[in-house]
Structure formats: C-alpha cells, structure tokens
C-alpha cells in the first residue's frame, strides 16, 4: 500500500514537473554541451524538420493574429515595427487585410510584407520568401525606403519615418554605405530574425551576395554586422510581443525561432 501511495505521489509530481516545462523545451532536444557552429547546425536541423511553407499569401491572414497589438497600445491593430510608437499613440494603424498594398505614395497608405533579409538576395525563392520569422507586416512606403539596405545605425539621417526609423550612412563602424536603423524597441527583434535566418538557411547562404554577408555558412554575417546584431540583441531583450509571435509562428508553419526561446544561444554560437 505504501509503495502504491509512493508511486502515486511520484507520478503526480513528475506530471506537474513536465507541465511546468515550457512547450518550447520539448521542441529542442539537444546535447547541452554543444557550442559554437555545431550548436547552430543542430538548431538548423531542428527548425527545418517541421517547417512547412504555407505560401506567401497566407502571411497576410496570420498577421492579424500574430502581430495584433496586445503589448503597446493594446488596440489589436497590427504591430508594424516601422510605424509603431511604443510610448505614444501610433501615427496610423492597420487593422484589416483590405489595407494591405496596393499602391502607396506616402506613409499610412497601406501595409505590405517586409523581408528583414531582403528577398532580392535569394531571388524570391521558397521557402525563404514566405518564412514568417523574417517576414513582417510593415508600412509599404517605409518598407520601400528601407529598400534592400543592411540594417545599421545612423547619426545623420537623410530620411526619417513617422516613428523615428532612419535611413542614412552607417555610423556604427566597419561599413560606410547606406543603412536603415529601426527604433530601439525593435532592434533586438530584427537581430533575432536575422540570426534565425542565418541558422535556418546556413546551407544556402554562403552562395548569396549582400553587404551583410561574409560568404560562409558558419558565421554568415560580416564582422561589423554581426557585432551590431549582438549589440542589438543584448540592448533590446526578448519581449512579450515576440514570445507571442513565436508561438503563433509555430502553429502557422511548424517551427520556432530558437533565439527568442533561448537568447543565450546567440552568445553560445557567435560570441567570441
């Protein structure tokens, strides 16, 4: 009898232990000792296995759920990193698919799908083109202004969006071309998207060309750019909005962004 009670108590506590584990823990089964690019390649395997390309059109539908504002204004409008004002009323908002582009002449005309990693670099090929974790809803006009510039920091902007995103010459060092600087609130979000991209597509990225890239499958990004991403990742830690978006992302296309679940893996892979 005592044994039975013990068994019961044991199985009960095991059950409650496993239910306190985050759903994402079960998703990553890996050897704790993995570090550096071995860890990255293992993550590539995990996040590719169940990744299903849901197609480009489906993104507009899922954004109404994944990017609904429950964090900043809490009004359910779409969080657009290029127009969101975290501490003030948004300059304009988008709430329905009918406001997707379309033609635009100025900010607030319509929203479209912004490829954080420019789609011209991979010739708009699948599944990169419709990969939820680097394709975000954004104002069409600001998206056009960002063009396919790398991200960077800008001291003297030649153009500034309504929420303070900037275009201009890079001032963060290592690169002197034109860059796009998002507002502080989204610097980490963008860094983690690009680090996801570098991991998910490490088998292809060495063949592509862009000012951000160094032509390797391991480090992926040039030193100046990687330094910036690591800085932004630390400066702007994972937010509630990103966690929610990551969960919806998994229900949408089957995989997750590991750097939202485990921010420490960024340093474990790319830290020097």
Minimum CB–partner distance for residue 72 and Ca ion (Å): 4
Minimum CB–partner distance for residue 125 and Ca ion (Å): 29
CA distance 94 to 76: 9
Question: Which of 107, 239, 243, 248 touches Ca ion (CB under 5 A)?
Answer: 239
Instruction: Mark residues 4-33: x for contact with Ca ion by CB under 5 A, - for none.
Output: ------------------------------
Q: Which is nearer to Ca ion, 69 or 261 (CB)?
A: 69
Q: Which is nearer to Ca ion, 122 or 196 (CB)?
A: 196
Q: Which is nearer to Ca ion, 214 or 239 (CB)?
A: 239
Strands 111-115 and 135-139: antiparallel
Binding status of residue 72 toward Ca ion by CB under 5 A: yes
Binding status of residue 90 toward Ca ion by CB under 5 A: yes
Instruction: Mark residues 178-217: x for contact with Ca ion by CB under 5 A, - for none.
Output: ----------xx----------------------------
Candidate segments 37-45, 52-60, 63-71, 226-234, binder of Ca ion by CB under 5 A? 63-71
139 forms beta bridges with 111
Q: Kindly determine how many residues on this chain lie close enough to bind Ca ion according to the rule CB under 5 A.
A: 8
Candidate segments 6-14, 71-79, 170-178, 195-203, binder of Ca ion by CB under 5 A? 71-79
Instruction: Mark residues 141-180: x for contact with Ca ion by CB under 5 A, - for none.
Output: ----------------------------------------
Binding status of residue 236 toward Ca ion by CB under 5 A: yes
Binding status of residue 259 toward Ca ion by CB under 5 A: no
Instruction: Mark residues 40-59: x for contact with Ca ion by CB under 5 A, - for none.
Output: --------------------
Q: Which is nearer to Ca ion, 70 or 124 (CB)?
A: 70
Given CA atoms 194, 153, 189, 58 in this order, what sign does their dihedral have?
Answer: negative
Provide CB contacts within 8 A for 127, sequence distance 6+.
51, 53
* Half-sphere exposure of residue 270: CA atoms within 13 angstroms, side-chain side: 27
CA distance 248 to 190: 17
Summarize as ranges the residues that interact with Ca ion (CB under 5 A). Answer: 69, 72-73, 90, 188-189, 236, 239
């Amino acid at each position: 009898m005592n044994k039975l009670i013990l068994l019961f108590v044991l199985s009960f506590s095991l059950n409650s232990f496993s239910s306190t584990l985050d759903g994402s823990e079960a998703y990553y089964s890996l050897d704790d000792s993995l570090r550096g690019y071995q860890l990255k390649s293992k993550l590539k395997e995990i996040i590719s296995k169940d990744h299903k390309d849901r197609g480009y059109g489906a993104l507009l539908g899922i954004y109404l759920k994944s990017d609904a504002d429950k964090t900043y204004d809490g009004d359910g409008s779409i969080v657009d990193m290029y127009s969101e004002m975290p501490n003030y009323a948004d300059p304009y908002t988008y709430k329905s698919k009918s406001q997707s582009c379309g033609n635009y002449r100025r900010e607030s005309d319509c929203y479209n799908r912004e490829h954080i990693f420019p789609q011209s670099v991979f010739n708009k090929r699948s599944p990169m083109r419709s990969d939820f974790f680097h394709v975000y809803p954004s104002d069409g006009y600001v998206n056009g202004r960002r063009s396919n510039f790398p991200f960077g920091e800008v001291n003297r902007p030649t153009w500034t969006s309504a929420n303070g995103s900037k275009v201009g010459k890079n001032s963060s060092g290592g690169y002197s071309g034109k860059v796009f600087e998002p507002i502080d609130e989204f610097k980490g979000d963008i860094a983690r998207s690009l680090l996801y991209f570098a991991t998910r597509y490490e088998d292809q990225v060495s063949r592509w060309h862009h000012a951000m890239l160094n032509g390797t499958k391991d480090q992926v990004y040039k030193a100046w750019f990687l330094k910036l991403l690591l800085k932004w990742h630390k400066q702007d830690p994972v937010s509630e909005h990103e966690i929610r978006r990551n969960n919806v992302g998994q229900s949408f296309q089957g995989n997750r962004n590991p750097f939202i679940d485990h921010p420490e893996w960024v340093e474990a892979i790319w830290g020097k």
